[in-house]
Structure 1
Amino acid sequence: MGRNSAICTVFAATMIVAGCDNVSGLDTDPPKPAPKTTTSTAAPATTPPAAPTTTVIPATALLPCPDKDSGKPLPDCTLQSSDSADLTFTVRRTGAGDNGTLTVAITTPTGVAAQTITEKGVDSARSRPELIDTDADGREELIIPLATTPSGTRYAVYHATGTATEFTRSGEFTGTAIDYSPDGFTVTSADLPANKGRTHTFWTYESDKLVPAATVEVHTSPKECILSTPTTLSLTPYATNSAARTHFCAQPAATN
């Protein structure tokens, strides 16, 4: 009990002294407010956006078109001319069977699109286009197989001359082989019925159209070469059938 009384006395004295600080007339400074604390927030570090990147996807590289028939379905491919025009021919195939479509895009050496050729109703999986200078003029023709017939393959022929980069569909011919004669005729060959020999047709271009000038038949038995009719002598350098027969029967395509 005595200890609790002493604590109360001290507490009371403390309260009296504290109360004197508020007595009027005393020269005391008012309590200063606590200084404001300013929190400086630094701007977040920024990273400049990365420069946009462009992914360049290269065009699908196509292999060169095969130069032989492998018996397998043919892929899309490219042909490169070896003449002065130096053109690229991109061959693409759609469809199936005899109702396919063959599209050939022709571009110049600088990559400029020159022409697009489309052949429909083609066995696109088997059609193997070729570039052949069939008239010995220094420019290659585009030869597109269309269909197989009992007498050979039927071809579409696209022709260009000089420095032209566009081709004209000059016509069609049918045969089992394509060649040319030294004097500028396109030669197609086919088998005669019953293995009697071979026939060779010599074609020329008139106003960019493919027309037959003469045909010879090389018989195996008896061995002879005859000039078939009709023969358009005006498309040849010869005035008589005899002279035409002598010339065309002596051509490499007819003698090999």
Structure 2
Amino acid sequence: MLINTQAIIIHSLRYREADLIVKAFTKSSGLKSYLIRGVLKSKKGKLRASMFQPLTLLEVEANHKDKGTLENIREAKVNPPYQDLTTNVYKSSIAMFLAEVLNQAIQEEEQNEALYQYLENAFLWLDKNKKFANFHLLFMVKLSSFLGFYPHQYDQDLPYFNLLDGEYQLDDTNKYCIQNENSELLKQFLLVNFDEASSIKLNQSRRKSFLEMLILYFELHLHGFKKPRSLDILHQLF
């Protein structure tokens, strides 16, 4: 079936000498994998390797057979193009990290327009804004709501956050219950949007500790989720 849809590139892998295998989250069909033949050697074709960098926003015309095999992209157009995301070393490092997170976290092969819209809006916000040091932290907190484990039973007076159950509670009931700066910091992130996230003042040490808590949270709720390889680079920059 010929499909016209918006897509966000999640991951691309070189295959043989000139091909790419590309994983994309599409607005119409959820997660899809494509074989892009000859794109690494082609200089005049409709498809170029630069289109398939992580988090690129595309409009694609694709042939979806929906048989669990690699699909085919016939035409693609970058829309909208980023202005700053790919050239700013700090933003591109965040993009690399979040692409790794999404590559492990998104597993559904069904349409999910709400998740697609969240991702697109978030990446366009990152591209346009200058205060973004806490962006990846809030992004992961909000992403958890689309993946089914958003922190609930929030109450300012409940001291423990149970990473295993994803809720605040009065008592310490297992080894994954935390009562520290991170559990209090999470309460702040639950109450802000991207424009407000920069008002949460963090030094490098606290940002690193909170991010590692979020990664553990994802590991506990997503089968096979592992610490992204780009995490060390992110820690150095932020």
User: Is TM-score (shorter-chain normalized) higher than 0.5?
Assistant: no
If the TM-score is normalised by the length of the shorter chain, which range does it land in? under 0.3
More strand by share: 1
Which structure is richer in relative contact order (CA contacts within 8 A, separation 6 or more)? 2
Q: TM-score, normalised by structure 2?
A: 0.27
Q: TM-score, normalised by structure 1?
A: 0.25
